Structure 1
Amino acid sequence: MEMKKIASLALSLSLCAGLLAGCGDSGNGGGNGGAAGGDGDKPESYKVAFIGSFTGNQAQYGESQRASIEMYLEKFNADGGVDGVPVVVDWYDDKSDPKETVTVGNKILGDDSVIAAIGPFSSTSAMAIAPMFEEAGITLYSPSSSHPDFTNMGEYMFRGTPTQEYYVQEYAKYISDVMGCKKIGMIYVNSDYGVVIHDLFIPEIQKYGGELVVAENYIVGQTKDFSPLISKIKTQDIDCLYIVGHYAEGAQIISQAKKLQLDVPYIGTASLMKQELIDICGDAADGFLLLNNFTPDNDAPGFQEWLAEFEERNPNISVDAHVVNTYDTIDMICQAIQNVGADRAAVRDWINAQAEFPGIGGTFSMAENGDAIKPLFPMIVKDGHFVSNA
């Protein structure tokens, strides 16, 4: 197969240095015991590993992703699986901690029956183990890793979400052309996710004659009081506030900014599209904007029926892009196994070749470098819910 990408050796070494030294056998794996072996040439099961957050600051994402995968596999295996053989998942909790992710990754790589892995949730964690999975020749398909460099780290790297680079391009255009804002204030999480968006946004908004006037960052799990950051931003002449982070901190920023009477439009990253954010903010969330590759108003065939069933099965989980992208990820991997069997390289090639894949939220394609190409939808909070702002 023609190389679809060239891995960056320097980036790989910098990400792995200091992490590999902490690797061991104390991973947090659990699961269905999907070891291969059985009568004749058929295995007892086909095994996929899942790496995500079931504890820590981002545990809610891991639980929603697990619910999505379980719903899919229940149907898939009830329909016969792969020639009568079920696909099973071993679940690994990495706490969204890159060091823990490396430990978990080593445990997975020690299991010869694993065909592919889903996750991790964060870009930092995904990039920490990308070189390991590339060397082992195992597909690492993250539904949520949006760092532009992730899929350039090897032929076995895939993502189910648009990249930060693509998101930032669309955000700059939307903020300028649709919202009419030229002077932007930003509060962003001090992580790979936030820093990359911050750095990409500066030249992108300049293309539209705009300017990032002021930017303040925070640390997940440490910053609780955002009022000093908001107060600094309030002293500047800005047209809107761009919030970059995840829903728990995003909700606090919105609530505290409204209390401090920062009277400008608020727009946030796609990761803030959680019903929990609205539940925390209450009326303060009204008018909050974001762009996302998920919309509950999606008219793709079968989507509304799927959405209703998921919500009935999981009343405490709000459907978002992570749920939809994870469903597409397990679907694509299972179809790959159905078509080419348990051969790891063949599974990679099949995934990479998908040009019009029928995802639950609509048809999408897989780019040569392993990026899923999906459209973005403008969303706004009205009457306690995210609705389309198209």
Structure 2
Amino acid sequence: MKKLSCFGIFLAILLIVSIPVFGQDTVKIGANLEMTGSVAAYGQMINEGVELIMDIVGTEVLGKQVEYVLVDNKSDKVEAANAATRLIDKEKVVAIIGPAISGSMLSAGPICEEKMVPQISATSTNPLVTQDKKYSFRATFIDSYQGVAAAQYAYEDLDAKSVAILSDIAQDYCVALGNFFKEGYEKLGGEVLTVQHCKTGDQDFSAQLTTIMNLNPDVIYLPNYYTEIALICRQARDLGYEGKILGGDGSDAPELIDIGGDAVEGFYFTAHGDTEKALTEIGQKYFDAYRAKFNKEPGVFGALAADCYIIILDAIKRANSFEPEKIAAAIEDTKDLEVTTGKITIEKGDALKPVVVKQVEGGKAKLLGTIEVK
């Protein structure tokens, strides 16, 4: 009897210890983000946005608590693929927010397709990210649409009849956006005088800029990320260029102004949205909470990250399931969902929403308006 009692006590202890393991009350949502490396500002803004929106809308879905698991992909394509594998195989996440940039989304994409776990990017815009994919999504517009919008703005609003393009060939996003801009601009009747190239991490752009300035374009188009754009603007102004410079959504980070300083004054760029005036109730709550918590103006990348979290939670609720395959199907069926940046519909993995244009003025990026693509 004594031995049986000891065994009974041991069994009771074992059951008590095991309850948290076998009675899991949490569901994991992963984040595959660029927290360090060349575009760390994007990952950090996205992470801020996710953590803030979790405070606002809560972390409970279908009776379970959301556990947020962040992995740093170091702004590297190989690391992004490794992060996706770790989040799915080891952490057992049901969905992934990120990566931020297109090249890393493309690297992680095949893993998510094979393992049937959805990933949704706040900011990647290359059309290939979602093309023929069932498990890759985005919360923003695609490069083909943005490129045409930027071309139209340059030709019609900036009255540019000639442009020069300086594109980062190391980044899929930059190459694609530059190509779509070129195609759209030439269809409108504009002349692309030259397409010059640089690589992520370059510090000297004098050779490319000298070639461009000798051709005297009405506009220089920079379909790059904020670091290279800021440095190019500084060197262009130092070399005496006084003309207009236009960029894409990769410009939309406070670091553009921190690095570029006075050289980016007057710089135009297309963007995902504006954070001054919310289009939805949840958007206003997010912007107000951001200002209160960080004592600074919210960035649109963080708002788009908040959109990703709202989209995933909404999909889980509509699917009434924590099965990643069912969550992916529900994300694809998202229609007119109110998120922080407005209303969003997902179609073939892509978000349907407007393109806005901003200009740096007085050390701030100010909204100029929206572009209606013809």
Does the alignment reach a TM-score above 0.5?
yes
User: C-alpha separation between the residues in 2 aligned to 1:207 and 1:103?
Assistant: 41
Q: Which whole-Å CA distance do the structure 2 matches of 1:263 and 1:160 have between them?
A: 36
Q: Is 2:335 the partner of 1:355?
A: yes
Write the mapping of 1:1-390 to structure 2, written as runs, cut at 5 A.
Answer: 43-77=24-58, 81-111=60-90, 113-190=92-169, 191-221=171-201, 223-302=202-281, 303-315=283-295, 319-339=298-318, 340-367=320-347, 369-390=348-369
Q: Secondary structure at the match of 2:164?
A: strand
Aligned CA distance change for structure 1 residues 315 and 246 (closer, same or farther; 3 Å): farther
Deviation string, structure 1 residues 163-196 (Cα, Å, up to 9, x no partner):
1111101111111111111210111111211111
1:84, CA displacement in angstroms? 4.2
Q: Is the 8 A contact 2:280 2:338 kept in 1?
A: no
Q: 1:314, 1:157 → 2: CA distance?
A: 31
Q: Is the 8 A contact 1:298 1:361 kept in 2?
A: no
Equivalent pair of 2:151/2:181 in contact (CA under 8 Å): yes
Structure-1 separation of matches of 2:40 and 2:295? 17
Report the Cα offset of residue 260 of structure 1. 1.2
Paired with 2:23 and 2:156, the residues of 1 have a C-alpha distance of 57
Q: Which runs of 5+ in 2 are unaligned?
A: 1-17, 370-374
Q: 1:82 offset after TM fit, Å?
A: 1.8
Q: Deviations over 1:75-112 (max 9, x none)?
A: 3336xx12442111111111121111222222223147
For structure 1, the residue ranges without an aligned partner over 5 or more in a row are 1-36
Matched position secondary structure for 1:186: strand
Partner SS for 2:204: coil
Measured at CA, do residues 112 and 313 of structure 1 come closer, stay the same or move farther in structure 2, by a change above 3 Å?
A: closer
In 2, Cα distance between equivalents of 1:312 and 1:370: 33
Contact 2:52 2:286 in 1 (8 A): no
Q: What SS does structure 1 have at the residue aligned with 2:94?
A: strand
The CA deviation at 1:338 is 2.9
CA distance in 2, matches of 1:271, 1:69: 19
In structure 2, what is the Cα distance between the partners aligned to 1:68 and 1:55? 17
Report if the CA contact (8 A) 1:38-1:44 is conserved. no
Higher helix fraction (1 or 2): 2
**Structure 1 352/42 Cα, relative in aligned 2: closer, same or farther at 3 Å?**
farther
CA spacing shift, 1:196–1:146, aligned 2, 3 Å: same
SS at match of 2:291: helix
2:287 maps to a residue whose letter is: L
Asked if 2 retains the 8 angstrom alpha-carbon contact of 1:337 and 1:347, the reply is yes
CA contact (8 A) 1:48 1:89 kept: yes
2:174 aligned counterpart, secondary structure: helix
SS at match of 1:203: helix
In 2, the alpha carbon distance for the partners of 1:292 and 1:239 equals 21
CA distance in 1, matches of 2:23, 2:313: 16
Q: Secondary structure at the match of 1:43?
A: coil
Give 4+ residue runs of structure 1 displaced > 4 Å after superposition.
37-42
- The secondary structure found in structure 2 opposite 1:110 is helix
Distance 1:38 1:122, change over 3 A: farther
CA deviations on 1:259-290 (whole Å, 9 max, x unpaired) are 21112111111111222222333333221111
Letter in 2 for 1:67: E
- Once the two structures are superposed, residues 234-259 of structure 1 have per-residue CA deviations (whole angstroms, 9 ceiling, x without a partner) of 10031111112111111111111112
Q: Which amino acid aligns with 2:207?
A: P
In structure 1, how many angstroms separate the alpha carbons of the residues matched to 2:43 and 2:232?
Answer: 23
User: What SS does the corresponding residue of 2:334 show, helix, strand or coil?
Assistant: coil
Number of equivalences: 349
Query: Would the aligned equivalents of 1:294 and 1:320 in 2 still touch at CA under 8 Å?
Result: no
